[in-house]
Structure 1
Amino acid sequence: MAVSFLLLFASCSLKKNIASNKTDPGSGKEKIKTDVSAPAKHEPTRKKQLQFYQDKYAPILGSTNQLSNIELYQFMDQWMKTPYKYGGNSKAGIDCSRLSIMLLDQVYHKNISGSSADIYIQSIPIAVESLKEGDLVFFKINGTVVNHMGVYLVNNKFIHATTKAGVLVSDLNEAYYRKYFFSAGRIK
């Protein structure tokens, strides 16, 4: 089992050149912008929406009463089970650092960049006992530098991209993560 866990992760980094979604000006195709924040006619109330997500993620996160961030739940919903791709930044494949960068940007409006090691340097170290939703967890897996990371959720759970299973939620208390855990950090 330990061998399968070792195969689960590889080092993560972010490629500097990220693909763009620009359309060819001469193609005649125009992008249609939609405002996802505009409420739909029959959209459930925020309270119902929150309850939906809390019920959905309770089996994974345990008690979800402390987690009321609908934007975080929506991000998780969009990215869960996305396959892993080293340097990836799309639904076709994403790595741990890019997932964390996108989550912090889209949910918390915090701007970070780089590989897991780069982001570790940008973070302010905090005690594990002080972890809050949106903080970062860093790992040194079979190496001497930070090469894996995730974003803390609640109840010792964090979301990250793994080589074997893609984007998923894991527990810091699992033996594998305890073994390779290096540090926790916060972005101001």
Structure 2
Amino acid sequence: MTCIRRNAVLAVIFPILLLMASCGARRHPVTSNTKAAMAADAMSKIGNKDLYRFINDWAGVRYRFGGLDKGGVDCSGFAYLLQKEIYGHVLPRRSRDQATVVNQRSESNLREGDLIFFSFGGGEIDHVGVYLNNGFFVHASTTRGVIVDDLNLPAYRKVFTGGGSVKNITR
């Protein structure tokens, strides 16, 4: 009797375990509208490969006010270093001063490498990023370090002040 009962239990449990295992192994497609996927897509569409390498090299470097190296960098320091290394422009050091050396463009006409500015404090410009494409930009976030972000996020939309290309400033 015990042998028959054990076989009956196994006959019921085994198919259930098989069904559970097959459900767990099912692959779910990654949706292309996640923030990370959209940022990766923006990175893949960068035309300037030196810019792509620069961003990859600095990605994740922590934020440090006044910082200008891989030990920590602030937003204006990151924009300063990127513009100097990739485009040969020497910018002022502070974001509000960087805003004075750009040829303003409408948001719909922003191009790869343009500086974009924000006013989180409600007054003067206090944050800068570098526009990439399709509404994405790279910047040194105070909480997440150097990162590619979406300009269309509400946190950025409400404080975005404009942007444009750097005037002909050379080394």
Q: Quick one: which of 56, 63, 80 aligns to 1:84? A: 63
Q: Quick one: which of 23, 46, 51 aligns to 1:67? A: 46
Is the 1:61–1:155 Cα contact (8 Å) retained in structure 2? no
**Residue in 1 aligned with 2:148?**
169
Alpha-carbon shift at residue 70 of structure 1 (Å): 1.1
Length-normalised TM-score, structure 2: 0.72
Alpha-carbon shift at residue 114 of structure 1 (Å): 2.0
Q: Residues 82 and 129 from structure 1, CA distance in 2 versus in 1: closer, same or farther, beyond 3 angstroms?
A: same
Q: Quick one: which of 102, 109, 123 aligns to 2:81? A: 102
Once residues 38 and 104 of structure 2 are traced to their aligned partners in structure 1, the CA distance between those partners, rounded to angstroms, is 30
Structure with the higher helix share, 1 or 2? 2
Alpha-carbon shift at residue 112 of structure 1 (Å): 1.1
Once residues 38 and 123 of structure 2 are traced to their aligned partners in structure 1, the CA distance between those partners, rounded to angstroms, is 34
Q: Residues 177 and 150 from structure 1, CA distance in 2 versus in 1: closer, same or farther, beyond 3 angstroms?
A: same
Once residues 149 and 70 of structure 1 are traced to their aligned partners in structure 2, the CA distance between those partners, rounded to angstroms, is 22
Residue identity over aligned pairs, in percent, reads 36
**Residue type of the partner of 1:113?**
P
CA RMSD of aligned residues (A): 1.7
Check if 1:147 corresponds to 2:131: no
Give the secondary-structure state (helix, strand or coil) at the position aligned to 2:46. Answer: coil
Q: Residues 59 and 143 from structure 1, CA distance in 2 versus in 1: closer, same or farther, beyond 3 angstroms?
A: closer
Q: Quick one: which of 119, 127, 130 aligns to 2:109? A: 130
Once residues 64 and 106 of structure 1 are traced to their aligned partners in structure 2, the CA distance between those partners, rounded to angstroms, is 18
Alpha-carbon shift at residue 125 of structure 1 (Å): 1.2
Q: Quick one: which of 73, 90, 99 aligns to 1:111? A: 90
Equivalent residue pairs, number = 132
Task: Point out where structure 1 has 5 or more consecutive residues left out of the alignment.
Answer: 1-56
Is the 2:42–2:136 Cα contact (8 Å) retained in structure 1? no
Check if 1:187 corresponds to 2:160: no
Q: Quick one: which of 100, 104, 107 aligns to 1:121? A: 100
**Segments ≥4 residues shifted beyond 4 Å:** 63-66
